[in-house]
């Protein structure tokens, strides 16, 4: 499932979702970082992390090559690999960035 809006793309954030271990994992990119990814520039970003039972894991996202390029999501401190594939294989939702302090 991919949803890519074309409206006002330069000011749009994006939430990227992939699945591994029967769970969905997402990261939201700011308009600046999303534009960087779409342009084909390499971009790496740590996610918010997640719990698997009582254990907490950081998630690390690496983008390269634009929309047709590669996406790798690693997790934990021992180099676990959650997702490796093309960015287009992920669910992509473009949206207006949330305003700070709005709670939305």
> What does the pLDDT look like over 86-96, one tens digit per residue?
999 999 999 99
Q: Which long-range contacts (CB under 8 A, 24 or more apart) does 58-65 make?
A: 59/25, 59/27, 61/16, 61/27, 63/37, 63/87, 64/40, 65/40
The single residue listed with the structure tokens 């994992």 is 25
Residues 58-83, mean pLDDT to the nearest whole number: 95
Burial of 34 by CB count in 10 Å (0-12 exposed, 13-18 middle, 19+ buried)? buried
> How much is the average pLDDT of 23-35?
96
Average pLDDT over residues 52-65: 95
Model pLDDT, residue 54: 95
Position 65 scores a pLDDT of 96
Domain ranges, ordered by start, for the chain? 9-95
Which residues face 84 on adjacent strands? 72
Q: Say what the pTM is.
A: 0.83
**C-alpha 74 chain-centroid distance:** 12
């Amino acid at each position: 499932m991919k949803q890519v809006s074309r409206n006002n793309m330069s000011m749009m954030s994006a939430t990227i979702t992939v699945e591994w271990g029967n769970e969905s994992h997402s990261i939201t990119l700011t308009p600046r970082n999303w534009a960087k990814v779409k342009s084909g520039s390499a971009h790496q970003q740590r996610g918010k992390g997640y719990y698997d039972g009582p254990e907490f894991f950081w998630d690390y996202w690496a983008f390269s090559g634009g929309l047709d390029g590669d996406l790798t999501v690693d997790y934990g401190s021992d180099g676990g690999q959650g997702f490796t594939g093309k960015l287009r294989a992920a669910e992509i939702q473009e949206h207006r960035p949330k305003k700070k302090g709005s709670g939305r």
